[in-house]
Amino acid sequence: MNERNVIVSGASILSDDAWPTWKDLLQKTYKLKNLHNVSVKGAGNELIILNAINKAINIENPLILIQLTNVDKWDWYIEDAELIKQINKEKHPIAKLRKDEQHGYWSTGSHFPKWKKYYFDNYFSIEHSMFSTLLNIQYFQQICNKNLWQYQIFFDSPIFSVKESQLNTGKLVNEDFEKPILIENTLCNTLFSSIDITNIYTPGLIGHACLNGIEWFSTKYSVQNIDE
């Protein structure tokens, strides 16, 4: 195990500059020599998955561990050079899939500054965002199976049932994630049935905390504050 190329990809909860997480426990427990953490603060599920795949393509014998997040935050892929210059002055700069690329994702978690705020208020669809995450899960599973890559998908919270905006209130209770309401729509119903969730613990880390009476929310260090 300690010789494997282990890839970890997620959002702020797994970034290296926040606090020790399960990736650090994993590295310590198994004395991993080759742990590649490609997590990005504020990332949505598209970037989380693509970062993991892009890393796996360039190393041998990868073991991919991805932790997906809520779908009411999204990755905005930007090609416009002038807009990229402006965004790179923001707290969340452009996240590139490769260093030599000019284009990239503007990932800001549940913080929607300027252009993203206008889009969120006027055009954002939670149903389509859930559909996009399901598509990306399906794509990830297919490419891993094709390349014989070992992988495991985790959730940071019950993403099929709860939005980031609800988590940010700190008032999540068990009943909130008993029913996967975010996939119960025309866009998602059929696609969901084609995805293998057998080995995915759908309550996620926060759901596990709720079910076991573990404190998970801090008014000082909330998810929203970290992403911002």
pLDDT digits (tens, 9 = 90+) for 164-215: 999 888 888 767 777 899 999 999 998 998 899 999 999 999 999 988 988 8
Task: Report pLDDT digits (tens) over 120-134.
Answer: 999 999 999 999 999
Say what the pLDDT of residue 2 is.
Answer: 65
Task: Report pLDDT digits (tens) over 3-60.
Answer: 789 999 999 888 776 678 899 999 999 999 899 999 999 999 999 999 999 999 999 9
Distances (CA, A) of 216 to 152, 212, 213: 23, 11, 9
**Residue ranges per structural domain of the chain:** 5-227
Q: Find out whether 64 and 26 touch, Cβ atoms under 8 Å.
A: no
Using the predicted structure, report yes or no on whether residue 84 has a pLDDT greater than 60.
Answer: yes
| pTM recorded for the entire structure | 0.92
Say what the pLDDT of residue 1 is.
Answer: 62
For residues 145-163, give the mean pLDDT: 96
Say what the pLDDT of residue 177 is.
Answer: 79
Q: Find out whether 183 and 160 touch, Cβ atoms under 8 Å.
A: yes
* Share above pLDDT 70 across residues of the chain, in percent, rounded to a whole number: 94
163: Cβ contacts below 8 Å, ≥ 6 apart = 70, 71, 72, 126, 182
Using the predicted structure, report yes or no on whether residue 223 has a pLDDT greater than 50.
Answer: no
Q: At what angle do helices 126-146 and 45-57 cross, to 10 degrees?
A: 20
The neighbouring-strand residues paired with 64 are 7, 151
pLDDT band at 227 (very low <50, low <70, confident <90, very high): very low
